[in-house]
Amino acid sequence: MPVMEYIDAIRLAMKEEMERDENVFVLGEDVGVKGGVFTTTKGLQEQFGEQRVMDTPLAESAIAGVAIGAAMYGMKPIAEMQYSDFMLPATNQIISEAAKIRYRSNNDWSCPVVVRAPIGGGIFGGLYHSQCPESIFFGTPGLKIVAPYSAYDAKGLLKAAVRDPDPVLFFENKKCYKLIKEDVPEDDYIVPIGKANVLREGTDITVIGYSLPLHFAMQAAAELEAEQGISAHILDLRTIQPLDREAIIEAARKTGKVLIVHEDNKTGGVGAEVAAIISEECLFELDAPIQRLCGPDVPAMPISPPMEKFFMLSKDKVKEAMTQLALF
Amino acid sequence: MNAKNSTQTKPKHEQLGLSDAEVVDMYKYMLLARKFDERNMLLQRAGKINFHVSGIGQETAQVAAAFALDRERDYFLPYYRDYGFVLTVGMSLKELMMSAFAKAEDPNSGGRQMPGHFGSKRLRIVTGSSPVTTQVPHAVGIALAAKMQKKDIVSFVTFGEGSSNQGDFHEGLNFAGVQKLPVIFMCENNQYAISVPIQKQLGGKVADRAQGYGFPGIRVDGNDALEVYRVVKEARERAVRGEGPTLIEAMMYRLSPHSTSDNDLAYRTKEEVDENWQKDGIPKMKKYLIEQDLWSETQEEALSREISQHLKEAIEAAELAPFPKPEDTLLHVYASEGEV
C-alpha cells in the first residue's frame, strides 16, 4: 500500500473516478494547465483533456451554477472552489439551487454535484485564505457535507461524493494537504457518507470533531495516556451533514465526558448541534458539562504569526482541554 | 383585398419555413396562454387559489420562441411568467392547474412550489426557483454537458430585464461565450421589475451586453411573433453549427400587475397600460392570419369556446384532486435507497 499525502489521495480519487465514469469532470479556476493552486488537479488535464479538466472564468457562482446545470443533465461534475473563503458568491447556487432541486421538483430532477473547497488556516493565509465556512452551509437540508481528517478518508469520501445522487460539499483541509502522509490503498474503495468513525477507543473522556483538529486530539490522547493514564475515546464525524446521531450518542455514553473540537468558530458551529444531540439523547448519562474547543468568535484568522497561533487549535490547547475534562 | 393573392412573394411565415397549420397553431397557443392567465387571475380573486404571477403581454414571444426550438429534444429553462412557453412545449392545462391549486398531481413540484415555478423532466423543462437568474448558469451547464456528449441540441433560457442585472446573468453569459456553447438567452424585457421601470434598471440595452461576451445580441419586437420566431430559429441554427450562444432581447410590456399581490397603478398610469394594450401581439397575430385567409371570426369563436371548455375541465380536475399528504413534506430531501 503506497504512502501518500492527503492531497495526493484527493487527486487519486478524482483520477480514478474520471477513469471509471466518463461523465465525471472537473471545473474551476486554475485547475487545468496549472493543476490547481495547491496542485490538487496536477496531471489530470494531461490525462483527460481540456474539456474534462476545465479552466473556468474567475466567477464562482458560474462554476457552481454551470456544474449544477450539467449535473441536472446527467453529468457528474466536481466543481472546485479555489479557497472556501471565495465560495460565498456561489452560496445562492448551492443553497437555493443544488440543495433544493430534488425537493422542489418532487423527486423529478436531481443534482449530483460535488463542490470541493479547501478549508482552514495555519498557513499564514490571513482572513481570506483561512476560513472554515461549514456553519454557513450546515443546517441546509438537501446538502451533504463531508470533511475528511485522513488521507484514506479523503480518497474514500471523495469517491463516495462523486457517486452520490445528491449534492455534496467536500471540505478538504489545506493544512492537511502536505502534513498528513499515510498508507492509502490504490484500489477502488469508498468511505460511506453519513458514517462517523471511531479513531481511538477509550474510557475516560470522549473527543468528537472533524478535520485537522482531530490530529491534535490524537497526539494529545497518546501523550495523556502515557503521561497520566487518561484514556481518550475519539470520534471523527467525517460527514458533518447529515450527522451520524447514533455514533455521537454512543461515543458520548461511552465515557460520559465530551469535548467537541473544530476550527470553525464556536457560535453556531457544528459542535453546537452535536452538543444539542447529546443533551437531547443522553444528558443524564453525562458526568460533566459538554465542552467545546473551537476557533474564537472573531470574523476570521489574522495573518500575523502570534495572532494566527492564538486563533488556531493545537495539540497543547486540545491536550489542556482534555486534561481539564478528565479532571472534572 | 387578400394579402395572400396580392403579392407574388410568399407570405412571411412561409418564408420562415412555417406551414399554414403551424402558424395557426402558434396563434392557438398564444390565445390559450392568455385565457389561462386571465382565468387564474379570476381564480385568485375568487379565493380558489392563493396566488398567480401573470405573463399577460408576453405570450407572443414565448410561444413563437418555443416554435423555433426542437420541442422533442432541446432543454428549456423558462422563468415564472412563461405559461405560453411551457404550454407550447407540452405542459397541459390540467397540469398547470394542478400547480395553481397546489395539488399532489402537479408535475412541476407536487404542490410544493408557487405556480409559475416550472419543471418537468419528461418535457426537459428544468426545475426553477424564485431567486431570479439562477437558471442562467444552469442553462450554460446543460449546454456544456450537451457539447461534451456531442448532442446537437440547445438549451434555451428566459428571464426578465431586471434579472439581466444579476451576477448570474453576466457570469453565465461570459462562461457560454468563452466555451462557445449552444445556449440561447432570451430576455423578456417587459419594462418593469415589479415596480421599477427600465430607466431605473438599465443603463443601456440588454442586447448590447452580448458584445462584451463575444456573441450576437439581438433586439426584437416581442409582440411580433414571426420576428421572434425568426431570431430564435437563427440563434438555434448558429448554436447547433457550433457558433455559440445568442442573446435575444424581446421587447414587450407586462400588461398585468406583477402578481395578484400587486397594484400596478401605484407606480404606473392607466394611460400607459392602455397604450400598450394597443401593441399587444395576440390581436396582431390574429390580424395576420385573417389577412392570410388562415383564420376567421367563426374559428376564433370556436377556439374560444374550446379553450373555455378545456379550462373548465382542468379547473374541475384540479379542484377535485387531492392535496399532497401533510407528512409528504418530509419526502425527497435526499435520494432514497436505490434512487438516482
Q: Over the stretch B297-328, which tens digit does the pLDDT of each residue have?
A: 999 999 999 999 999 999 999 999 999 999 99
pLDDT digit string (tens) for B203-250?
Answer: 999 999 999 999 999 999 999 999 999 999 999 999 999 999 999 999
Which amino acid makes up residue B283?
Answer: P
Contacts of B178 in chain A (CB under 8 A): 57
Nearest CA in chain B to A79: B141
pLDDT at residue A1 in the model: 85
| pLDDT (mean) for A16-43 | 98
pLDDT digit string (tens) for B113-153?
Answer: 999 999 999 999 999 999 999 999 999 999 999 999 999 99
pLDDT at residue B1 in the model: 43
Q: Do A31 and B102 touch, CB atoms closer than 8 A?
A: no
Q: Do B209 and B215 touch, CB atoms closer than 8 A?
A: no
pLDDT for residue B163 is more than 90 = yes
Contacts of A111 in chain B (CB under 8 A): none
| pLDDT (mean) for B269-280 | 98
b/e sequence B74-98, b meaning 16+ C-beta within 10 Å: bbbbbbbbbbbbbbbbbbebbbbbb
Cβ–Cβ of B121/A105 closer than 8 Å? yes
Residue from A73, A101, A169 whose CB has the most chain B CBs within 10 Å, to mutate: A73
Cβ–Cβ contacts within 10 Å for residue B219, how many?
17
Query: pLDDT grade, residue B7 (50/70/90)?
Result: low
Helix H or strand E encompassing B226? helix B225-240
Q: Are strands A205-209 and A232-236 parallel, antiparallel or unpaired?
A: parallel
Q: How far is CA A320 from CA A219, A223, A228, A265, in A?
A: 12, 11, 12, 19
Q: B10-254+264-330: CATH homologous superfamily?
A: Thiamin diphosphate (ThDP)-binding fold, Pyr/PP domains (3.40.50.970)
3-state secondary structure of A221: helix
pLDDT at residue B339 in the model: 87
Q: DSSP labels for B78-110?
A: --TT-HHHHHHTT--HHHHHHHHTT-TT-TTTT
Cβ–Cβ of B340/A110 closer than 8 Å? yes
Give chain A's contact residues with B (Cβ, < 8 Å): 25, 51-52, 56-57, 59, 61-62, 64-75, 77, 89, 92-93, 96-97, 100-110, 112, 141-142, 144, 165-166
pLDDT at residue A33 in the model: 96
Q: B330 at the A interface (CB within 8 A)?
A: no
Alpha-carbon gap: B29 to the closest alpha carbon of chain A (Å): 25
Nearest CA in chain A to B337: A165
pLDDT digit string (tens) for B59-78?
Answer: 999 999 999 999 999 999 99
Nearest-angstrom CA–CA distance, A321 and A317: 6
Residue from A104, A107, A115 whose CB has the most chain B CBs within 10 Å, to mutate: A104
Contacts of B333 in chain A (CB under 8 A): 102-103, 141-142
| pLDDT (mean) for A139-147 | 98
Cβ–Cβ contacts within 10 Å for residue A283, how many?
10
What is this structure's pTM?
Answer: 0.97
pLDDT at residue B5 in the model: 52
pLDDT for residue A96 is more than 80 = yes
Q: Could you tell me what percent of chain B has a pLDDT over 90?
A: 96
Q: What is the ipTM of this complex?
A: 0.97
pLDDT digit string (tens) for A289-308?
Answer: 999 999 999 999 999 999 99
Query: pLDDT grade, residue A92 (50/70/90)?
Result: very high
pLDDT for residue A243 is more than 90 = yes
Cβ–Cβ of B138/A103 closer than 8 Å? no
Nearest-angstrom CA–CA distance, B205 and B303: 38
Nearest-angstrom CA–CA distance, B281 and B222: 8
| pLDDT (mean) for B181-194 | 98
